[in-house]
Amino acid sequence: MKFNISTLRKYNHKKIRNIKDKAIKKILLGFGLTAVIFIILILVFLLIEGLPFFFEGDGLDFFTGDVWDPSSPNTPRYGILPMVLGTFLVTLGAIVIAVPIGIGCSIYLAEIAHPKIRETLKPIIEILAGIPSVVYGFFALVILSTWIDKIFNSTTRLNALTGSIMLAVMMLPIIISLSEDAIRSVPREMKEASLALGLTKWDTIRGVVVPAALSGITAAVILGVARAIGETMTVLMATGNAPVISFDMLSSMRTMTATIAIEMGEVPFGSTHYHSLFAIGIVLFAITFIVNFIADRVMKRFREKY
């Protein structure tokens, strides 16, 4: 009798555990499918509102035109080339500034800094991620633009360089936090083996630790780049918003996100101008998809190599 009761209890316990496992799997699957559904719905919404522009306007001029003047009383122009170039230059400037600083800081925190210093600095860096973007934009508008103007004697106070610096500051918490976690996750045995072979600590960091953590560092950089591409308020307040083609970082530029934010509130619903802004959203979605796809391929290569 005791044996039967004990066996029954074990059987019931195992059955309940299997039910819980299946329920948890279904819940997690539901969360994953929900995220996919949201992305699909966003894409469908963009296509519904953006594709009519290509039937109403000139699709070729949209991608190759260098003039954005949708409110012209004579011939409205919808060329997004100035905004694409502005987005590219501002983001590229932010990458050039943020990536070396972010990776260097993450290496310092993970491998060099005293634990007390790391425990003090990392929360301070992570606080930067919680500051609203409008605060960064206001700082750029009032203070940073003045500094840039005095240092470089720029033609305009608000320019691409100001926007790039602020985007770099916004990228740093993401790059530093994720890169530091990736570096700290490198097995201790790999470091000890390198040191045992006679390599210095710096040689170990450069030749063993960083390559081993490269996939995580790459993911951190890509997430930072995605933050920079999709940022709106900061670039809206910092770059000057002139839709012109220029390769001068000290000149005023406009990004695609800023264009949508500036004009969406006043554009007539259902007009060609209205649909053109959603067409810009489609382009942004495509750029983000391509960036993430390339990042995924690069990370797979790094994982296979190391």
Among candidates 277, 160, 165, 288, which has minimal Cα distance to 229?
A: 288
Model pLDDT for residues 107-141, shown as the tens digit of each residue:
999 888 888 888 888 888 888 888 888 999 999 99
Model pLDDT for residues 70-100, shown as the tens digit of each residue:
887 788 888 899 999 999 999 999 999 999 9
Judge if 15 and 159 occupy the same domain: no
Lowest mean pLDDT among 82-96, 191-205, 237-251: 191-205
Judge if 85 and 49 occupy the same domain: no
Range of the domain at 178: 80-305
Model pLDDT for residues 6-55, shown as the tens digit of each residue:
665 666 667 777 787 788 888 888 888 898 899 899 999 999 999 998 88
| CA 22, chain centre distance (Å) | 35
Judge if 84 and 51 occupy the same domain: no
Judge if 219 and 103 occupy the same domain: yes
pLDDT at 135: 92
pLDDT at 304: 60
| Percentage of residues in the chain having pLDDT higher than 90 | 29
pLDDT at 2: 46
Domain count, the chain: 2
* Residue 63 counted as domain residue: no
Of the pLDDT bands very low, low, confident and very high (cuts 50, 70, 90), residue 5 is low
pTM: 0.85
* Residue 27 counted as domain residue: yes
* Residue 61 counted as domain residue: no
